[in-house]
């Protein structure tokens, strides 16, 4: 007789031990756009998680090499579309360091002011969208109302609503419009007066606290291992902020106003609390900058540049405390009018990697809460 092959098919209870692979994304309301999460599940519990990136990749770093030092500012402000001014800032700081250029004091303080207003705009988006992802629709309407107040003054000074293109190598595009500081001060006061919406409506909501407290706990060791930074790192007790620890712009003179907030719990709630406290402090920093600008004597807002700007041969590294974390810019020049290499270290890229360690062991129902608390922008991951 010819040999026969027997195949055993598991059915019923035997199938309960079979792992299931679940793809979240790349087009899915739970993934902030075109991020894909490949999850391996054992029942309702996540066994493995793999963030799959690259669906938005624009090749910005390669494009830097084909643009001169004025044009790369346009490329740099788009990867994190919620932090455009801060993105521009890191590039111009790197180029100015290569040139050994001193920026006028008026530009230094104005840059600091606009960076903090941009920080508030960034944080308000997440303060509104995170409760929305957990089922609370109301806060996002308040967040957009407050953003609109600040967007108006940012648009007035720069001409742009999201991509400001206001930084220049050597300073800023132009001086502040007449009466703008008074309107900016009023906008800051208006936003501050309504921040209790997030203090009370969101943080005081027992359902929100129940969905976030003790969920997605990130250990400080994982923060250091994966290079996580910004509010996410400080929510795990990592007390590091470049504005205080390696001051740039005018932050060295704002030590009394700058408060670095940390939490030790490391869960979703702690990350939200740090983000909210940092928003309050950014408003205070903006007021301090407005006070100092009012005291400055009239003067230039930028340096005069040659028609063709060339950085000397060499390399340098500049980093900034962006709203989402640390952004780094490694600039290599061969003495030409375009960078030989400009490597961008974006905050979201590192922050999202830690999901491979953070999600395993948690429930699928908590995945959205954890993902939303990582505060990332997909374009900032893919660059």
Q: In CATH, what number is assigned to the domain containing residue 67?
A: 1.10.645.10
Find out whether 152 and 186 touch, Cβ atoms under 8 Å.
no
Residue 105 burial (10 A CB sphere; 0-12, 13-18, 19+): middle
Residue 47 and residue 131 in one domain: no
CA angle 41, 43, 46 (to 5 degrees): 35
Find out whether 120 and 279 touch, Cβ atoms under 8 Å.
yes
Q: How far is C-alpha 25 from the chain's CA centre?
A: 21
Residue 106 burial (10 A CB sphere; 0-12, 13-18, 19+): buried
Find out whether 108 and 96 touch, Cβ atoms under 8 Å.
no
Residue 83 and residue 24 in one domain: no
pLDDT beyond 80 at 29: no
| Residue of 1 and 233 predicted with greater confidence | 233
pLDDT tens profile 128-181: 999 998 888 999 999 999 999 999 999 999 998 888 999 999 999 999 999 999
pLDDT tens profile 76-132: 888 888 999 999 999 999 999 999 999 999 999 999 999 999 999 999 999 999 999
Residue 148 is predicted with a pLDDT of: 95
Give the chain's domain count. Answer: 2
For the chain, how far is it from start to end, CA to CA, in angstroms? 64
Question: Which is nearest to 49 in space by CA: 323, 375, 368?
Answer: 368
Residue 269 and residue 248 in one domain: yes
Distances in Å between the Cα of 42 and the Cα atoms of 50, 334, 356, 357, 362 are 15, 54, 16, 16, 11
Find out whether 49 and 356 touch, Cβ atoms under 8 Å.
yes
Residue 153 and residue 40 in one domain: no
Residue 24 and residue 164 in one domain: no
Distances in Å between the Cα of 276 and the Cα atoms of 114, 230, 266 are 19, 13, 15
pLDDT tens profile 247-295: 999 999 999 999 999 999 999 999 999 999 999 999 999 999 999 999 9
Is residue 321 a part of any domain in this protein?
Answer: yes
Residue 112 is predicted with a pLDDT of: 97
Residue 101 and residue 159 in one domain: yes
Q: pTM of the entire structure? A: 0.91
Find out whether 103 and 341 touch, Cβ atoms under 8 Å.
no
Residue 135 is predicted with a pLDDT of: 87
Which residues does residue 51 pair with via DSSP β-bridges, in sequence order?
37
Percent of the chain with pLDDT over 90: 72
Provide the mean pLDDT of the chain: 90
Residue 383 is predicted with a pLDDT of: 78
Find out whether 317 and 331 touch, Cβ atoms under 8 Å.
yes
Is residue 8 a part of any domain in this protein?
Answer: no
Is residue 14 a part of any domain in this protein?
Answer: no
Task: Choose one of 29, 52, 75: the last residue of a domain.
Answer: 52
pLDDT tens profile 310-339: 999 999 999 999 999 999 999 999 999 999
* 27: containing domain: 20-52
Residue 3 is predicted with a pLDDT of: 57
Q: Cα(18)–Cα(10) distance, rounded to whole angstroms?
A: 10
Is residue 13 a part of any domain in this protein?
Answer: no
Is residue 106 a part of any domain in this protein?
Answer: yes
DSSP state of 101: P
């Amino acid at each position: 007789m010819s040999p026969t092959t027997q195949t055993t098919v598991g059915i019923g209870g035997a199938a309960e031990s079979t792992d299931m692979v679940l793809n979240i994304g790349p087009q899915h309301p739970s993934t902030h756009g075109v991020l894909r999460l490949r999850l391996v599940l054992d029942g309702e519990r996540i066994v493995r998680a793999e963030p799959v990136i690259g669906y938005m990749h624009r090749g910005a770093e390669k494009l830097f090499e084909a643009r001169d030092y004025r044009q790369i500012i346009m490329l740099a402000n788009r990867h994190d579309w919620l932090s455009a001014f801060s993105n521009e800032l890191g590039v111009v700081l790197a180029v100015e360091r290569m040139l050994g250029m001193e920026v006028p004091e008026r530009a230094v303080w104005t840059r600091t002011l606009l960076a903090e207003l941009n920080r508030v705009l960034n944080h308000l988006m997440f303060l509104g969208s995170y409760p929305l992802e957990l089922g609370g629709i109301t806060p996002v309407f308040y967040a957009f109302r407050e953003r609109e107040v600040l967007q108006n003054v940012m648009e007035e000074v720069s001409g742009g609503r999201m991509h400001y293109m206001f930084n220049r190598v050597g300073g800023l595009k132009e001086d502040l419009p007449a009466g703008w500081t008074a309107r900016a001060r009023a906008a800051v006061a208006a936003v501050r007066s309504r921040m209790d919406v997030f203090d009370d409506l969101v943080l005081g909501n027992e359902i929100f606290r129940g969905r976030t407290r003790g969920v997605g706990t990130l250990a400080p060791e994982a923060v250091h291992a994966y290079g996580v930074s910004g509010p996410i790192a400080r929510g795990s007790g990592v007390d590091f902020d470049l504005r205080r620890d390696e001051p740039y712009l005018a932050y060295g003179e704002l030590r009394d106003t700058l408060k670095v907030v940390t939490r030790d719990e490391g869960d979703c709630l702690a990350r939200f609390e740090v983000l909210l406290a940092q928003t309050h402090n950014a408003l205070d920093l903006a007021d301090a900058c407005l006070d100092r600008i009012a005291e400055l004597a009239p003067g230039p807002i930028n340096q005069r540049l040659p028609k063709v700007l060339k950085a000397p041969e060499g390399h340098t590294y500049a980093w900034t405390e962006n709203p989402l974390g640390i952004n780094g810019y490694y600039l290599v020049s061969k003495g030409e009018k375009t960078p030989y290499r400009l490597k961008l270290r974006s905050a979201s890229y590192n922050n999202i990697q830690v999901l491979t360690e953070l999600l395993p062991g948690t429930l699928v129902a908590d995945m959205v809460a954890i993902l939303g608390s990582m505060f990332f922008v997909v374009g900032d991951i893919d660059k």
